[in-house]
Amino acid sequence: MNYQISADIKHLSGTIQLPASKSISNRALIIHALSYSPYPIRNLSDSDDTKVLQAALNSNSNKFDIGHAGTAMRFLTAFLAKVVGEWEITGSDRMKQRPIKILVDALTELGAQIEYMENEGCPPLKIFGKHLTGKTLQLDGSVSSQYITALLLIAPTLESGLTLNLKGDATSRSYIKLTLELMGKFGIRYQWHKNEIIVPEQRYFPIDYTCEADWSGASYWYQIMALVDSGEILMENLVLDSLQGDADIAAWFEHFGVESIQEKNGVLLSKTKNNQPDRLNLDFIENPDVAQTMACLCVAKSIPFHFTGLKTLKIKETDRIAALQNELAKFGAALTEPEHGELAWDGKLDMEMKDDNPVIKTYHDHRMALAFAPMALAGLPMQIEDPMVVTKSYPGFWNDLKKIGFEVSE
């Protein structure tokens, strides 16, 4: 089933109930389990990833299938490694291709016993949970921050705690910062100096916690506001002073005439002028999840760009650099990869490449559907293949688009 997407909206007004942050929700669930908390976690994300993780943590089974949920795979691997018992964790065909060896090797150094059930270095895994003893680990800082977060979340509960020395430049430092600051809310003391993170052995302090709205989800509404002439839209439960690194986009979008104002019940996006940059150069080392948003926006507005810091995009739900190249070509944009982990476009459209009603493949990647749909506002109707892939992070997305005037039909 495909969705046909079109839109002709010049002025926008309304209120959007954003999904809760998946990043915060998934970390909070692991902390909740490690702290044996009697308190609820309020406003949990209703994304597939969070539901899968929550179901696994509440399950009486010792076998888990987490589908496409990479966060759940990594967080559960570390969590189960220290929970006494015999566990099996698997996922989708794509998940079985995604690397996890760096995390498994690190856990093995701490005393974990983990076996690969099929291909070396990838899920599915058999985990023999046992007592783990912390030490100083050396990790390549350029690896996915989810490996680092998985280790940090269990760090306080390890005998002797854990010290991580990150070699080279740490990728997605904002996500590491999010993890540590959230752990701090649950009473954890830590030190982070340059590339060394020290977490002593200690107990999580259970608290009644409410998750904030998702800034990655907000990015599509910033994109929409940049594509209309004028308007105001309230993003409920969004916080400018956020734990999430993707809150950086509020400053980025000022260049597109979109202003952000903190209100009591959320962030008000306001579009009063139609300025835009002549060219966009951005480093996504801290914000890889909004790269697709910005690439689609630039093509929709014919803005040349050069993006860096995208190395982790190749090991996401799909190779997101290749996926963007393939699908934006259907609009006549030939994107290049000047260096590994970069993406560039000269701002020129090749009309011979362009499809009149392109069918956008999503590659089982929610962010492909979420980032491409707003392009319809630039007079670029399209079909979205496998549209319900958005349930991974933003289940109500299509209804929210209809609410503000998009035409969305099967």
Determine the Cα angle at 122 with ends 120 and 126, to 5°: 85
Place of tokens 């009697």: 38
Q: Which of 171, 124, 161 is nearest to 308 (CA)?
A: 171
Q: Which of 41, 55, 139, 130 is nearest to 89 (CA)?
A: 55
Active site residue 48: no
Contact 279, 304 (CB under 8 A): yes
Question: Which one from 49, 214, 246, 289 is the annotated catalytic residue?
Answer: 289
The three-state (H, E, C) secondary structure of the chain, written as one string:
CEEEEECCCCEEEEEEECCECHHHHHHHHHHHHHCCCCCCEECCCCCHHHHHHHHHHCCCCCEEECCCCHHHHHHHHHHHHCCCEEEEEECCCCHHHCCCHHHHHHHHHCCCEEEECCCCCCCCEEEEECCCECCEEEEECCCCHHHHHHHHHHHHHCECCEEEEEECCCCCHHHHHHHHHHHHHCCCCCEEECCEEEECCCCCCCCCEECCECHHHHHHHHHHHHHCCEEEEEEECCCCCCCCHHHHHHHHHHHHCEEEEEECCEEEEEECCCCCCCCEEEECCCCHHHHHHHHHHHHHCCCCEEEECCHHHHHCCCCHHHHHHHHHHHHCECCECCCCCCEEECCCECCCCCCCCCEECCCCCHHHHHHHHHHHHHCCCEEEECHHHHHHCCCCHHHHHHHCCCEEEC
**CA gap 278, 19 in Å, rounded:** 33
Q: Where in the sequence numbering do the catalytic residues fall? A: 289
